[in-house]
Amino acid sequence: MATESRRTYVYVGLAGEGEHIGQGGLYRRADGDQEWKSITNGLPENPQIRALLVHPRNSKTIYAGTNLGPYRSDDRGEHWESLGAPSEGGTDVWSLAFHPDNPDIIYAGYEPCAIYRSQDAGATWKKMNTDGVKYPHITTYMPPLGKRVIGITADPSNPADMYAAIEVGGLLGSRDGGDSWESLIDGPYLQNNTLDLHGVQVSAAAPGTVFIITQVATFRSRDRGNRWEHVQFGEMFPGGSYCRGLLVAPDDPRSIYLAAGAGGGGSPAGTAEEGALFRSRDIGETWERLDIGDTPPSRMFQIAIDRAAPSHVYCCAGYGQVYSSYDGGNTWDKDKVPVEMSRSLHVYPMACGS
């Protein structure tokens, strides 16, 4: 139970892939409630929800990335309206991000690889230039998987520096606020699984330092993506790790959370493997595994922190187990999204706000 008077609303998006692409959904639960509520009014039928954003200044406003483009709600998901899908290319939105200083500027990442920017809170969109991107050669031919933009972020200290994580294709960078993009990572990474990115973050406490998570590890660049080092903090899991979620705490840029699980490589996201939540309090120099009071039966997938009440920390596993802490991660409650998960239907994004 929440220890503060402020109620945080938690959102979890579901989607499928392959033969289960028709399944999906979006659920919300407020602190203190016993049940999750489906909030799909106005969304596409069987929506594939792979990205969520809560407005940093008005938490009633939420953006969702779906299989038919971006959507917006101004009442915590009770009603949704389409913000329009591209007229060319794919319509699957896999990532959403605000500009660090201006939430009216929004970025959307698509599959196949495309990045769009809105400068009017989603009313209109313009496609950014990714035409010149040359992917690492070992990821070039991987049909039928189209390269997807699974994460977007900007350096809070210099928002003109932006980064986009590609699944599967390494990291893209922009030095002009997203107008144009180029590949930033290749070098010694000679296996697909080190270029199969799942997220990217930059902390205001370390300008120019970029963290990426991949199918098998976490990497860091201290020079805006030019050179990379493997972030090692012991053996996370016997037999390999799978890193899926990465988040800088909104109230403390020195604190970074990592959602991970056992089983590196390409095993499906929902396989019954152990999940865990890790935290660094010194910008990634050292890490600890948090005791959430349980061993998730699937990989930990996402982390969410309430910007207005940062002691409210949440994480969720691929099969829908949701863990809530109201004291900054010291103690945890457990819950589950009321949907039968499978290897092809599982949690993708998680977000929260008061």
Q: Domain ranges in the chain? A: 9-353
Q: What is the pLDDT of residue 336?
A: 96
Global confidence as pTM: 0.94
Greatest mean pLDDT range, 30-34, 73-77, 167-171, 296-300: 73-77
* Proportion of the chain above pLDDT 70, given as a percent: 92
Higher pLDDT, 191 or 31: 31
Residue tagged 């039968």 (tokens): 340
Residue 272's pLDDT is what? 47
142 has pLDDT over 90: no
Residue 3 has pLDDT above 60, yes or no: no
Using a 10 angstrom Cβ sphere, with 0-12 exposed, 13-18 middle and 19 or more buried, the burial of residue 303 is: buried
Q: How far apart are CA 70 and CA 118, in angstroms?
A: 11
Q: Which residues of 317-334 are buried (b: 16+ CB within 10 A; e: fewer)?
A: bbbbbbbbbbebbeebbe
Q: What is the Cα–Cα distance from 352 to 261, expressed in whole angstroms?
A: 22
Which among 16-20, 69-73, 128-132, 292-296 has the top mean pLDDT? 69-73
Answer for the pair 38, 26: CB distance below 8 angstroms, yes or no: yes
User: How far is 260 from 129, CA to CA, in rounded Å?
Assistant: 32
Cα 262 to Cα 284: distance, rounded to the nearest angstrom: 20
Q: Name the fold adopted by 9-353.
A: Methylamine Dehydrogenase; Chain H (2.130.10)
Cα separation, 308 vs 315, in Å, equals 17
How high is the pLDDT of residue 302? 97
